[in-house]
């Protein structure tokens, strides 16, 4: 499912709900900012460098020329597999500058999950960091035919033509013209979100979608703000913010990741005025010992998701306003509250132009105070996703009866606040990452001693979830859980590796032979459950781009 081309030019659309092309389309915005505010700083980067808006335009246009010379055309999909940094930004925006679709990829992906994303995207070209290219060696690269390697030397590949970084730094030349004007409803990006009943799905996001999400989340920002982006650019919480900084004409400070001990130092060094605190980030900051410098910074506001800390105490201690939103990759921040929002754990109230219902399994409204699945629709065309790439079945399920089904259970109070209750699906959220239980189970079951597996969320002492996997063994097989963890580490993203392993004779099942995960989840960590942390097995994320010692 993709945006359809019509004979009507975007300039001839008079619907006031549709943003003007020059306010939402990457190509037009980059040209406009480079023309209007060329010397204003667009972004600081993790390596200490920075770009003005003029330098952003120069880098994007040159990169776009390189991609075009490699055969990228309007409407093509371009995989970008890079850590946070200027190379990721220029590659993503360059694809959009050509009217192509940028497909940022999680740098933790490997093996079967990486293979799925490449196959699903049907992209013919990838921009990849040198430290990641080894993971392409033993997988099916599907339609992919070439890759540009940045951040180091390129290696040979059995089926891909590998280009050095010079391919994206060609000599100045005129870009070939677009086949047609880029429209606000065209697909801007495909952002992969975790699968729950199947592999990860590629969310089709239009220019209008990301424009709407930005305004809904950051209406309090001004062009004078600098937003600290501590989330990865392959998440909507990272690239979506960077995209809105361009829309607003503000400034960003892009860092590799959130680090509690360095957070306030980074805020001061980058002169950031706002940021997102996702998951346990706010809790980690609150648990740090109070210091005289707690207010010695320029941070004026934070978005706290979820609303897990006393906002008044947080504001009093750190001297900044707190906002909260509820969002998913597929939607556009339908709930919002702040500054200094209502009751603890609230996700906010519905935004103007958004219809919200809580329903049962038949899409019938539940009574006030009861728990139901949140479903949504908006009065603006293209303001939410327009499907899942190459997955019409999942698109139909999500959009049944004309409403988008979030798969999340909510309740409301008498004041109209919405409260997240639980996931109605089997996704797990750990350290800010959504994890597909299906994908964990697939990798666990790849071990020859494992007959079947069920992955569930169990509470973490830090908030959010930890991953517990219950397994039954093949007849006659024996397995040390530590050996299973060792088997999984090179096959999985670091955040997906289970912390807990339970070995059971049989997984509990319904009469129709579906695994009753709720029973495993409710039993939780029983005596005899293996805990890899207590066993001294700590799994850390790869540091992409760092110099390695000899």
The pTM for the full model equals 0.85
SS3 250: coil
Residue 196: per-residue pLDDT:
45
Share above pLDDT 70 across residues of the chain, in percent, rounded to a whole number: 94
Domains 26-182 and 226-423 in one fold: yes
Judge whether 110 and 493 are in contact, CB under 8 Å.
yes
Assign domain 226-423 to its CATH superfamily.
ANL, N-terminal domain (3.40.50.12780)
d(CA 294, CA 404): 42
CB within 8 A of 430, min separation 6: which ones?
Answer: 460, 464, 465, 466, 467, 495
Judge whether 93 and 30 are in contact, CB under 8 Å.
yes
E strands, 490-529, in order = 500-503
Domain boundaries defined on the chain: 26-182, 226-423, 427-531
Nearest to 179 by CA among 76, 92, 57: 76
Residue 2: per-residue pLDDT:
47
Can you tell me the mean pLDDT for 263-286?
93
pLDDT for 1 beyond 60 = no
Residue 308: per-residue pLDDT:
78
d(CA 405, CA 376): 7
Q: pLDDT band at residue 12, thresholds of 50, 70 and 90?
A: low
Q: pLDDT band at residue 518, thresholds of 50, 70 and 90?
A: confident
d(CA 332, CA 328): 7
Q: What's the topology of domain 26-182?
A: Rossmann fold (3.40.50)
Residue 3: per-residue pLDDT:
45
Can you tell me the mean pLDDT for 402-431?
86
Tell me which CATH code domain 427-531 carries. Answer: 3.30.300.30
Residue 264: per-residue pLDDT:
96
Residue 547: per-residue pLDDT:
58
Residue 461: per-residue pLDDT:
82
Residue 427: per-residue pLDDT:
66
pLDDT for 550 beyond 80 = no
pLDDT for 299 beyond 60 = yes
Annotate 75-96 with DSSP letters as a single string: T-EEEEE--SSHHHHHHHHHHH
| Residue 401 CB-density burial (10 A; 0-12 exposed, 13-18 middle, 19+ buried) | exposed
Q: pLDDT band at residue 232, thresholds of 50, 70 and 90?
A: very high
229 - beta bridge partners? Answer: 254
Q: Which residue has the higher pLDDT, 506 or 540?
A: 506
Can you tell me the mean pLDDT for 361-385?
94
pLDDT for 24 beyond 90 = yes
- The mean pLDDT of the chain is 91
Cα-Cα end-to-end distance for the chain: 49
Give CA 539 to chain center in angstroms.
21
Nearest to 205 by CA among 389, 414, 63, 347: 389
d(CA 449, CA 213): 46
Judge whether 247 and 36 are in contact, CB under 8 Å.
no
Residue 485: per-residue pLDDT:
96
Q: 138-142, 387-391, 536-540: which range is least confident on average?
A: 536-540
pLDDT for 342 beyond 50 = yes
Judge whether 351 and 359 are in contact, CB under 8 Å.
no
Can you tell me the mean pLDDT for 375-383?
97
Can you tell me the mean pLDDT for 395-406?
96
430 - beta bridge partners? Answer: 433
Residue 511: per-residue pLDDT:
47
Q: Which residue has the higher pLDDT, 144 or 286?
A: 144
Tokens read off for 36: 């209007």
User: What is the tens place of the pLDDT at every residue in 53-79?
Assistant: 999 999 999 999 999 999 999 999 999
Cα 452-443-484 angle, rounded to 5 deg: 80
Q: Name the pairing type of β-strands 274-278 and 226-229.
A: parallel
């Amino acid at each position: 499912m993709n945006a359809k081309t019509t004979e009507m030019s975007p300039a001839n659309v008079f619907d006031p709900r549709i943003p003007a092309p020059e306010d939402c389309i990457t190509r037009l915005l980059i040209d406009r900012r480079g023309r209007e505010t060329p010397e204003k700083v667009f972004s600081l980067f993790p390596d200490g460098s920075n770009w003005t808006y003029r330098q952003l335009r120069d880098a994007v246009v040159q990169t776009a020329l390189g991609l075009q010379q490699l055969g990228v055309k309007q409407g093509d999909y371009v995989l970008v597999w890079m850590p946070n940094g200027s190379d990721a930004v220029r590659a993503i925006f360059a694809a959009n500058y050509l009217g192509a679709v940028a497909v940022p990829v999680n740098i933790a992906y490997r093996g079967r999950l990486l293979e799925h994303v490449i196959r699903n995207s049907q992209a013919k070209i990838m921009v990849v960091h040198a430290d990641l290219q080894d993971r392409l060696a033993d997988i099916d690269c599907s339609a992919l035919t070439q890759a540009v390697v940045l951040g180091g030397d390129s290696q040979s590949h059995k089926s891909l033509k590998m280009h050095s970084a010079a391919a994206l730094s060609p000599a100045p030349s005129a870009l070939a013209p677009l086949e047609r004007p880029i429209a606000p409803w065209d697909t801007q990006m495909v952002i992969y979100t975790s699968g729950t009943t199947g592999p990860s799905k590629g969310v089709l996001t239009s220019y209008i979608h990301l424009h709407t999400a930005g305004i809904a989340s950051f209406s309090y920002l001004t062009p004078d703000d600098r937003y600290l982006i501590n989330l990865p650019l392959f998440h909507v919480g990272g690239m979506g913010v960077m995209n809105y900084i361009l829309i607003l004409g503000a400034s960003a400070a892009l860092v590799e990741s959130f680090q509690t001990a360095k957070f306030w130092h980074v805020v001061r060094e980058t002169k950031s005025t706002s940021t997102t605190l996702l998951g346990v980030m706010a809790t980690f900051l609150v648990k740090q010992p109070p210091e005289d410098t707690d207010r010695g910074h320029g941070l004026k506001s934070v978005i706290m998701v979820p609303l897990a800390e006393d906002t008044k105490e947080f504001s009093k201690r750190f001297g900044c306003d707190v906002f909260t939103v509820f969002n998913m990759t597929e939607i556009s921040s339908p709930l919002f509250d702040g500054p200094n929002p209502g009751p603890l754990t609230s996700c906010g109230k519905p935004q103007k132009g958004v219809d919200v219902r809580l329903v049962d399994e038949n899409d019938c409204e539940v009574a006030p105070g009861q728990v139901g699945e949140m479903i949504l629709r908006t009065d603006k065309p293209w303001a939410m996703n327009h499907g899942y790439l190459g997955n019409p079945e999942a698109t139909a399920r999500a959009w049944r009866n004309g409403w988008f089904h979030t798969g999340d259970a909510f309740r409301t109070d008498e004041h109209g606040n919405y409260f997240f209750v639980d996931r109605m699906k089997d996704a797990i959220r750990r350290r800010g990452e959504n994890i597909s239980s299906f994908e964990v189970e697939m990798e666990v079951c790849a071990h020859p001693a494992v007959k079947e597996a069920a992955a569930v969320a169990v509470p973490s002492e830090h908030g959010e979830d930890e991953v517990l996997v219950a397994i039954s063994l093949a007849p006659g097989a024996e397995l040390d859980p530590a050996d299973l963890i060792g088997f999984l580490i090179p096959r999985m993203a670091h955040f997906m590796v289970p912390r807990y392993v339970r070995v059971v004779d049989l997984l509990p099942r319904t009469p129709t032979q579906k695994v009753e995960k709720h029973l495993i989840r409710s039993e939780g960590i029983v005596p005899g459950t293996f805990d890899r942390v207590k066993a001294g097995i700590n799994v850390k994320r790869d540091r992409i781009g760092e110099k390695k010692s000899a």
